[in-house]
Amino acid sequence: MTYAVGVLGATGQVGREFLRILEAGDRPDLPIGSLRLFASERSAGKRMTVRGDEHVVEVACPDPHLFEGLDFVISAIGDVEARTFAPVVAQAGAVDVDKSNAWRMEPGVPLVVPEVNPEAARAHRGIIAGPNCSTTQMVVALWPIHQVNPIRRIIVDTYQAVSGTGWRAVDELRAQVRDPQGAPRQQYPHQIHQNLIPEIGSYKGDGLFSEERKMIDETRKIFSEPDLAISATCVRVPVEVGHSEAIHVELERPFPPEAAREILRKAPGIVVLDDPRHSEYPMPLSVAGEDPVFVGRIRQDPSHPRGLALWVVGDNLRKGAALNAIQVFELVARNGWRPTAARDGQEVHA
């Protein structure tokens, strides 16, 4: 059996990463029978080659007839657009995995990371949300530990690459590297070259920026732990690709680093790279283009008897975005969890 797949926002950064993953070889759990690409009027008509076949980018419009015949759609578009398009895609009978912030906290819409909460996808009604890239790699790394020794508190500080903002931010960083004084500063409130900016997203008025609030709320939803204590500080750094996170967790019981290391080595989607004596630990430069989440610097937190510290790095465009969406498609296809509610004409809330 093969599947008809659409990419909504195909010319954007995440959309292109999705196509690069397909280009590298067909996924055994998601054999692609046909592929259609959608984007705004600005990009419509462009020709893109995927797996040797040339595709013309179609104009995306919120009409269910446009998406009829598709089995899966990845939506890598803005929040406002996603609120409009996701119900339309579901109405057409396809499963829409949306990468925006629009549906993540919507009651009744699963927020899924397949290594963590695959069963949540079963209850979808045509829309499945993918979490924020920084949340994704953190929950992949922490879930195996949480299953063995429940986590009572998480403190995370992130070091997030500019590609999380989009290709214009990457261009701006490169321009500032070439000309620090004359290059534009449009994507961030300050120069990012040779700088760190402790501001990601909009200011929420409670001392948090929206990226920090996302990490708190999304982790609680994915873990099904609505009262889990979490504190996050999110920082933009002058790195093109690859988010890094310093994570401190308070556990239910004391837990030796050796035990955590062994559990993580056996966990899906994780590579443990942890030999500090020989300067071996994950770094953005070495994980860019890689699928797994990399974990290192696993150690006892000296400030707490039940504390553990970890360093987690991942490619924010792959597992943080496009790859997670593909894995959700594979999960749904493998289990036959089709959107019967949407096809039967039941209401999909917008």
What pLDDT digit, counting tens, does each position of 6-37 carry? Answer: 999 999 989 999 999 988 876 778 788 999 99
Q: Supply the pLDDT for residue 341.
A: 42
Q: Which long-range contacts (CB under 8 A, 24 or more apart) does 304-307 make?
A: 304/250, 305/254, 306/152, 306/250, 306/251, 306/252, 306/253, 306/254, 306/255, 307/248, 307/249, 307/250, 307/251
Residue 111 carries which DSSP code?
A: B
CATH code for the domain in which residue 309 is found: 3.30.360.10
Structure tokens at 151: 């986590």
Q: Look at 14-23, 125-134, 280-289, 319-328 and tell me which has the smallest mean pLDDT.
A: 14-23
Residue 185 and residue 302 in one domain = yes
Q: Tell me if residue 243 is catalytic.
A: yes
Q: Do 180 and 209 share a structural domain?
A: yes
Q: Residue 28's pLDDT is what?
A: 78
- 309 lies in some domain: yes
Q: What is the pLDDT of residue 84?
A: 97
Which of 66, 64, 86, 65 minimizes the C-alpha distance to 75? 86
Of 124, 133, 146, 234, the active-site residue reads: 133
pLDDT above 80 for 343: no
* Domain extent for 61: 3-102+321-343
Split at pLDDT 50, 70, 90, the class of 339 is: low
Examine residue 123 and state whether it is found in any structural domain, yes or no. no
Residues 304 and 329 in one domain: no
- Indicate if 205 and 256 belong to the same structural domain: yes
Catalytic residue among 243, 248, 278, 304: 243
Mean pLDDT is lowest, of 10-14, 201-205, 275-279, 345-349, for 345-349
Please write the tens of the pLDDT for every residue from 220-271: 999 999 999 999 999 999 999 999 999 999 999 999 999 999 999 999 999 9
Tell whether 311 and 325 lie within a shared domain: no
Q: Let me know whether 325 and 312 are in one domain.
A: no
118 is a domain residue = no
**Judgement on whether residues 261 and 278 belong to the same structural domain of the protein:** yes
Give the tens place of pLDDT for each residue, 269-309: 999 999 999 999 999 999 999 999 999 999 999 999 999 99
Tell me the pLDDT tens digit for each residue of 73-96.
999 999 999 999 999 999 999 999
Contact 214, 201 (CB under 8 A): yes
From residue 330, how far is each of 20, 26, 62, 269, 333 by CA, in Å?
17, 12, 25, 15, 5
Whether the per-residue pLDDT at 38 is higher than 80: the answer is yes
**% of the chain surpassing 70 pLDDT:** 96
180 lies in a domain?
A: yes
- Same domain? For 43 and 158 the reply is no
Average pLDDT over residues 158-173: 96
Same domain for 165 and 287:
yes
Identify the bridge partners of residue 55 per DSSP, sorted by sequence position: 48
| 68: in domain | yes
94 in a structural domain: yes
| Residues 34 and 165 both lie in one domain | no
- What's the confidence (pLDDT) of residue 347? 45
Query: Is 332 a domain residue?
Result: yes
- Is residue 248 part of the annotated active site? The answer reads no
Query: Own/partner pairs for 289-297, CB < 8 Å, 24+ apart?
Result: 289/241, 289/315, 289/318, 290/315, 290/318, 291/315, 291/318, 291/319, 291/323, 292/319, 293/137, 293/140, 293/141, 293/269, 293/319, 294/270, 295/141, 295/264, 295/270, 295/271, 296/272
Q: Kindly report the average pLDDT of the chain as a whole number.
A: 94
Dist CA 320 CA 32 (whole Å): 22
Does residue 252 lie within any of the structural domains?
Answer: yes
Q: Say how many domains are in the chain.
A: 2
User: Is residue 327 located within the same domain as residue 259?
Assistant: no
Whether 197 and 282 share a structural domain: yes
Q: Return the CATH number at 72.
A: 3.40.50.720
